[in-house]
Amino acid sequence: MERHGILGDTMRDVLQVGLPQVDSIVDTKQLVTVLLTSMITALVTFVYAKRRRRRLVCWTVLYDQPINQDPGKKGPDKGHDMWQIVSQKEGSEKRIVDNGSLVVLDIMSAGNDDIDEADFKDPISFTFPGRKVVDFKVRDSEYVRKQFLTNPPEMSESTIKLPSNLTLNKHDRFKLLILLDGEKADEKEKVRAGGKIKGGEISKRVRRTRRYWLTMWGTLCVAVLLAGLLIGGWVASESNDPIPECATGTLKLAGSTAFAPIVTDVANEYMRHCPGASIKISAVGSDIGVDDLRKTRQPNEIAMSDGMPVGDTTGLEAHPLGIVPFAIVANKDLKLVTLDTPGLRSIFNVHPKDSYLAVGRKRGSGTRRTFEQNLLGTDGSEFPDSVECPTSSTGGSGNTSEACTVETTIDLLTYVNRTPNAIGYAEVSALSNFPNVDVIRIDGFLPTRDAASNGTYRFVAAEYFYTAGPPRGLTATFINFLASDEMTKRLRDRAYVGCSDLSKTSLGGECQ
């Protein structure tokens, strides 16, 4: 028995398990759904982001040039023949502006909503690095000018901060003329805006170039094309959805605990399309399901069996559906990677080697019968028919037997998940909710769809529906629905291979 794997084995495991899953996703409408959902999410995010800018102040620099400087002259002649600019505020002395420059800002409320005084978290401000603010004027809006007269902006060094109680209606626009003093204007950033607006922003208006519009139109065309492809793919996938031929009435399915989860999903899909149908699933074990049908002989009952049932089936009609792969499972603490058939036989005995706690299903389970026939090559006489499992987490509660049994697949996985030295077997699709359970390779093979279909993985069971005579009504339409090519494709991402997928493989005979 091999207990430790190598990197190469690990990579092969990933490929064996991962690639069929990718293939199943691409083969169904899940990929289309993911892409369409992503596109819708991106569109909603974009629209939401735009909506958040319902309060938007845009600004741009219309003019920023020296007005009392001659850039071509230096030294004593600097400023010769230039205007003399004098600034005088009420109650203050005259100030001669030697190195003046004039900036004209175009400011506009460009959002979808009006901007009230309460909307400003911080007032709008403009900073002119390297220059000092001397004075200002407002033009082209009497409404805004009056607000500036009532509550003048704050001017400090190189920054002018607009009135804190400024209100701007939608599409209000004005020009702000600012007189500056100083030669050291930052050529990279002559004007810098500040301030915060609730539910909006203050943004510099940028001229859209031809390249920008070509990019926008190109992006829009690609988005429309992608949307068309996604919608077309969605419609195509919807048209391939399995649609049952509806019948009304009640139907009961009883038997295999391994196949019950898949049948339950198909039954729910049938009832979604056919509200007049009521389908109930009872996972009681393969032999019990078949025995009940032998007794009742009811036309609205189906027995689910893993493999051919034991005993006389005279009067019952078999309906092969496909195969379900099973797995040898062990608690992660055992650190098992692979086992060969002789190793399995030594473990699943009344007294297993190496202190393993072998957990099996009780007599009458189709999963147990498949395990014993396909892997052990025995009738299971060396394994107990029914022995309660120890309750201790280590498997040692005074019970002298080192092998025990449980009722259902879920019971087995639950026990192995919490018992460090436990090893058992279960249907593959039920493993996802048990994080402490490892899948063990058998003779080097994992329970993948490909390995099961080509016969290299032997721990599989043919799944059968049994009916009391030829099926009719709801019984017939449900069997046809599950066995349809469309439903087989839908179930490819589950641990199940339908007869339509087995027809060209070495296991095609299981469906005859």
10-residue mean pLDDT profile of the chain (512 residues): values are 41 41 44 59 56 75 79 54 66 74 89 84 89 89 88 88 87 89 72 87 74 68 70 54 91 92 94 95 92 94 90 91 92 92 81 77 87 78 81 51 83 94 88 91 90 87 93 96 90 84 74 74
pLDDT given for residue 392 in this prediction: 65
pLDDT given for residue 9 in this prediction: 45
Same domain, 55 and 105: yes
User: DSSP characters for 326-382?
Assistant: EEEEEEGGG---EE-HHHHHHHSSSS-GGG-EEEEEPTT-HHHHHHIIIII-S-STT
Residue 63 lies in a domain: yes
Residue 421 lies in a domain: yes
pTM of the predicted model as reported, rounded to 2 decimal places = 0.53
β-strands 357-361, 192-197: how paired?
Answer: unpaired
Same domain, 168 and 61: yes
Instruction: Write the CATH number for 264.
Output: 3.40.190.290
Same domain, 181 and 316: no
Point out the domain boundary residue: 155, 181, 204.
204
Instruction: Write the CATH number for 160.
Output: 2.60.40
Same domain, 343 and 487: yes
User: DSSP characters for 170-202?
Assistant: TT-EEEEEEEEE-S---SS-S-EEEEEETTEEE
Closest to 461 (Cα-Cα) out of 425, 432, 424, 412 = 425
Tell me the C-alpha distance between 189 and 131, whole Å: 12
Tell me the C-alpha distance between 163 and 341, whole Å: 86
Tell me the C-alpha distance between 486 and 87, whole Å: 85
Residue 80 lies in a domain: no
pLDDT given for residue 130 in this prediction: 84
Domain containing 438: what range?
Answer: 1-28+245-512
User: DSSP characters for 450-468?
Assistant: HHHHTTS---EEEEEEEEE
Residue 86 lies in a domain: no
Neighbours of 81 (CB within 10 A): 7
Same domain, 177 and 256: no
User: DSSP characters for 388-424?
Assistant: PPPSSTTS-SS---SEEEESSHHHHHHHHHH-TTEEE
Residue 100 lies in a domain: yes
Same domain, 16 and 151: no
Residue 428 lies in a domain: yes
Same domain, 444 and 312: yes
Closest to 479 (Cα-Cα) out of 295, 279, 257 = 279
pLDDT given for residue 328 in this prediction: 94
Same domain, 426 and 288: yes
Same domain, 24 and 60: no
Structural domains of the chain, count: 2
pLDDT given for residue 505 in this prediction: 73
pLDDT given for residue 396 in this prediction: 46
Residue 369 lies in a domain: yes
Residue 40 lies in a domain: no
pLDDT given for residue 235 in this prediction: 52
Same domain, 261 and 199: no
pLDDT given for residue 433 in this prediction: 86
